[in-house]
Each structure stands twice: as C-alpha cells, then as structure tokens.
C-alpha cells in the first residue's frame, strides 16, 4: 500500500490525542496535528519515508510548539538597560499581576465605589504625586511622546529656549529639535556648544517666549571647559519672567544611584523641589518599569495636557498601567524593597564578588564541555543612554580559541538565543544581566554546537 494511503485521517489522530486536547484544548490540538500532517505530506513528496503511525504523529504534535517572532533571549552582554533587548524585565510576582489583568476585565476606567466611569490615570497619578512631591501627573506611551505632548499642548506656536549643549539625539530617530518642530513650538538655541550661562537665557526671552526647556544630556557627556545652568537657577529666572520651566530628565530616578557606585544625579523629587514646572522621564530606563513616558508637575500644566486631543493618541493600555502600578507600589514600600522587586535595580546592585563567583561557576561548566574559557575582570554598561561614561565593575567568562563571531552567530540560533559580547576578540558572558536559569541555557546551547565549534 502506498505511504500516502497510510497517512491517518484527522479524526483518527484526534481520537488518539486526548491528552493533548486536555492540555491545550481542541483548537490548538487540531492546529498542531494539521501542521504535522502538512510536514509528513511534504516529506513523502520529497521521497522520504516518514513513520506515519498514529502514535508517531501524535508524539510529533506534542513537540510542536507555536513559534512566535518575539521570544525570550539570554542577555549575556552585561548591559542592563538593553534597548534592543526590550529594556525592562518583570519578576514572577509582577507577571502574575499582569497575567491576572491581561486575562480578565479590569477597572481601568471604572470607579468601583460609584459604579460610574472612572479616570484612567487616577491611581497612577496619586502614586506618582506621593513619590515625587508633584501636584499632578500623567502617563503616556514613552518619554518621546511625553516631550511631544508637553510642547504641543503647552507651547505650540511659541518660542522655547534651550541650551545648545542640550540638543541631544537619543537613539536613531529621536532628536530634540525634530520633536520641537513636530510639536509646533519654535526652538531658540542659546549659549555655545560647551557653555551656556544664565544671561544667555535671560537675553533670549521675548514676548514670543512660551517656556524654558532643560534636557538631560543622557547619552553623551561634555568634558573640559563646560558650563550649564541648573534647574533651581533656571526656575528663578522662569518665575521672574512668568514662564514655565520644563525639564526632560530622560531617565527619571526615584532613588539615589550613588548607592550602586554610579555618580549622583538628582531624583525626580529633587528636580520638582528645585522648581521645575513640568518634568518628564521614561518608565523603562532607571525607573525599572514598563515602557512609558511620565509627566509630573504643576496642576495647571498637567491638566492642560489631560485635555489635549493628542493625549488620546498617546495613551497607555491596561497592561502598561498594571505594570506601572506594580513598579510604583514597590517604590512606595521603600528603596530596599524596590531593589529586590525590580530586576533592573537588582542587576545594578550585584557586587563584583557575587559576579566573580557566578562567572567562576559558569566558566567551570563551560570548560567541562571542552571549551577553553577564562574569567576576566571587565565592565558592564548601564545602557539605555544612561551614564554613558560610567561602567560597573564585573567579571565575565571569555571563550577563547573558537572564533568569537562564528560562535556568537551559532549561539544566536539556539533554542533560546544567547546574546553575548565580543571583547578582546573573545566571546564573553557577563553574569550582571543574567537571570535565574540562564547559565543552564548557555550550557545547553554550547553543548549543542560543540562539534561544530571545534571543527571551525
């Protein structure tokens, strides 16, 4: 009998696949079986002789997982806020909350007391006000959106004064001057590239001026002969001129980063206290929350943004709000608790001693596979454009002998892709950005390509 005629019918397969149906439901079981049948027919057409017994095909369907484009990878680069790898992670507890909110209806715009329509931003606003000392707050998609909303709804058609030293480009496509043009606000650059004085701002104020804007340099630093005007000085000038002062902080801090060995930078609370009228920052940089743009400041300005039609285009969904709720609630419990609950902060906190121990253990397991590996002292980057000139001391496992590029390429094709860092021509794994269980994934991937790597 020809192999074609031996291929079982879907109905027969389904009858034998009861455990699959129990586990995944009928629709998913059918999808898997159909996939397997398609593969088998292709194999026969290609002249192969696949086993077409019911048991074999059901077993094949059992292994057939849905493959999605977006999938977990191991970040062994050591860069904590890796924008290309999605910046933020959430712990199991946060994910349980997100999962509960995702698979159920939630009171996103519903007041449980009155039974009437509620306000989307009410809860997160109260949390942000408590944490930053601001009068009011609002949340949008990301910080680029926050800058756009702030300028468009508050100063479109007016002039906005900014220092030449702060016309920063973040990533490939976000440039402060371009966003200002988009918002309809007119950019007035003051000062020189390296130095801007208070009188530069003062002299540029005219009838047309709508606001003063200060932008965090984020991903670059100036060294040498430089000068900038700080928030409290600018605030005094803004008050005298009856203008608002806007501050784009980039990465908003709710705790002092010097505890991680990073240079001190003012927290959002301090910037608000220094007199900024509106402060905006990212939710998923050093705040360690979901992608979001957060605006805090004076009621008058935040309320004007709340009624802007643009807000609707930039609004966040329930998943973002749920994640932000979790993250801000963690900060409200205190710094130690936030560090323990928010993976970004926990990774920054890892000590060189811990990292060395983790590297030594990983190195031994890699050596046991037959690779030549060593532990090197190195540096991890914070990432996300934050602290560009400051690294954190770490220890990495370096695989020598094998060509780094070739090995890296093979590891990126692993079941869970492994992303490392090439340093001094060796492929390195930095435990600073590894999660629980990642070492096992690295070992499994290295094991699977061992022969291939050796014959290189």
Contact footprint for ligand PLP (CB under 6 A): 142-144, 147, 168, 170, 174, 215-216, 218, 248, 250-251, 282, 293, 385
Nearer to ligand PLP by Cβ, of 168 and 396: the residue is 168
Please, what is the minimum distance in Å from the beta carbon of residue 102 to ligand PLP?
Answer: 22
Closest residue to ligand PLP, Cβ-based?
Answer: 250
CA 187 – CA 176 distance, rounded (Å): 9
Nearer to ligand PLP by Cβ, of 20 and 211: the residue is 211
Q: Which residues pair with 397 in a beta bridge?
A: 375, 429
Identify which of 305, 256, 254, 296 has the alpha carbon closest to the alpha carbon of residue 276.
Answer: 296
Is the CB of residue 33 less than 8 Å from the CB of residue 40? no
Nearer to ligand PLP by Cβ, of 60 and 216: the residue is 216
CA 434 to chain centroid = 15
Please, what is the minimum distance in Å from the beta carbon of residue 173 to ligand PLP?
Answer: 10
Is the CB of residue 414 less than 8 Å from the CB of residue 445? yes
The residue written with tokens 């906190």 in the block is 349
Nearer to ligand PLP by Cβ, of 147 and 363: the residue is 147
Q: HSE (CB half, 13 Å, CA atoms) of 394?
A: 30
HEC sequence for 143-173: HHHHHHHHHHHHHCCCEEEEEHHHCCEECCC
Nearer to ligand PLP by Cβ, of 169 and 202: the residue is 169
Contacts with 337 (C-beta within 8 Å, 6 or more apart), sequence order: 330
Nearer to ligand PLP by Cβ, of 35 and 164: the residue is 164
Nearer to ligand PLP by Cβ, of 33 and 147: the residue is 147
Q: HSE (CB half, 13 Å, CA atoms) of 419?
A: 14
Please, what is the minimum distance in Å from the beta carbon of residue 86 to ligand PLP?
Answer: 12
Please, what is the minimum distance in Å from the beta carbon of residue 366 to ligand PLP?
Answer: 35
Identify which of 214, 169, 216 has the alpha carbon closest to the alpha carbon of residue 191.
Answer: 214
Nearer to ligand PLP by Cβ, of 143 and 380: the residue is 143
What would the DSSP string read from start to end of 22-47?
Answer: HHH-HHHHHHHHHHHHHHHHHHHHTT
Nearer to ligand PLP by Cβ, of 385 and 420: the residue is 385
Please, what is the minimum distance in Å from the beta carbon of residue 384 to ligand PLP?
Answer: 7
CA 402 – CA 103 distance, rounded (Å): 46
**Count H helices, E strands: the chain?**
21, 15
Rounded-to-10 torsion of CA 89, 92, 95, 100: 180
> Is the C-alpha dihedral spanning 218, 223, 228, 232 positive or negative?
positive
Nearer to ligand PLP by Cβ, of 75 and 251: the residue is 251
CA 17 – CA 338 distance, rounded (Å): 46
Beta strands at 278-282 and 136-140: parallel, antiparallel or unpaired:
unpaired
Buried b (16+ CB within 10 A) or exposed e, 138-167: bbbbbbbbbbbbbbbbbbeebbbbbbebbb
């Amino acid at each position: 009998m020809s192999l074609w005629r031996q291929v079982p019918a879907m109905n027969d397969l389904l009858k034998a696949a009861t455990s699959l149906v129990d586990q995944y439901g009928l629709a998913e079981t059918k999808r898997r079986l159909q996939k397997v049948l398609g593969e088998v027919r292709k194999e026969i057409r290609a002249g192969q002789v696949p086993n077409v017994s019911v048991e074999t095909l059901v077993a094949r369907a059992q292994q057939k997982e849905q493959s999605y484009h977006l999938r977990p990878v191991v970040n062994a680069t050591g860069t904590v806020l890796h924008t290309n790898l999605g910046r933020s992670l959430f712990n199991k507890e946060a994910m349980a909350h997100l999962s509960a909110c995702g698979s159920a209806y939630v009171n996103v715009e519903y007041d449980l007391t009155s039974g009437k329509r509620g306000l989307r931003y009410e809860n997160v606003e109260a949390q942000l006000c408590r944490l930053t000392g601001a009068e009011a707050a609002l949340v949008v998609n990301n910080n680029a959106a926050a800058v756009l909303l702030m300028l468009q709804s508050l100063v479109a058609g007016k002039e906005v004064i900014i220092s030449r030293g702060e016309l920063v480009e973040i990533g490939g496509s976000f440039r402060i001057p371009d966003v200002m043009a988009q918002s309809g606000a007119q950019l007035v650059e003051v000062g020189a590239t390296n130095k801007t004085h208070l009188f530069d701002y003062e002299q540029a104020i005219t009838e047309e001026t709508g606001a003063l804007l200060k932008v965090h340099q984020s991903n670059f630093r100036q060294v040498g002969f430089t000068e900038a005007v700080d928030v409290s000085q600018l605030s005094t000038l803004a008050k005298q001129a009856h203008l608002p002062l806007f501050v784009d902080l980039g990465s908003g801090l709710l705790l002092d980063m010097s505890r991680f060995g990073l240079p001190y930078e003012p927290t959002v609370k301090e910037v608000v206290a220094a007199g900024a009228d509106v402060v905006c920052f990212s939710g998923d940089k050093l705040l360690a929350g979901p992608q979001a743009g957060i605006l805090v400041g004076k009621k008058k300005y935040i309320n004007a943004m709340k009624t802007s039609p643009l807000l609707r285009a930039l609004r966040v969904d329930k998943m973002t709000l749920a994640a932000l709720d979790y993250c801000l609630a963690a900060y409200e419990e205190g710094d130690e608790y936030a560090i323990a609950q928010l993976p970004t902060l926990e990774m920054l906190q890892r000590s060189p001693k811990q990292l060395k121990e983790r590297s030594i253990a990983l190195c031994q397991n890699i050596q046991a596979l037959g690779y030549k590996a060593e532990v090197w002292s190195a540096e991890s980057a914070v990432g996300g454009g934050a602290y560009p000139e400051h690294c954190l001391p770490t220890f990495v496992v370096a695989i020598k002998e094998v060509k780094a590029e070739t090995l890296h390429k093979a590891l990126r094709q692993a079941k869970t892709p492994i992303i490392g860092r090439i340093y001094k021509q060796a492929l390195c794994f930095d435990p600073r950005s590894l999660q629980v269980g990642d070492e096992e994934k690295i070992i499994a991937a290295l094991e699977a390509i061992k022969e291939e790597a050796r014959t290189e």
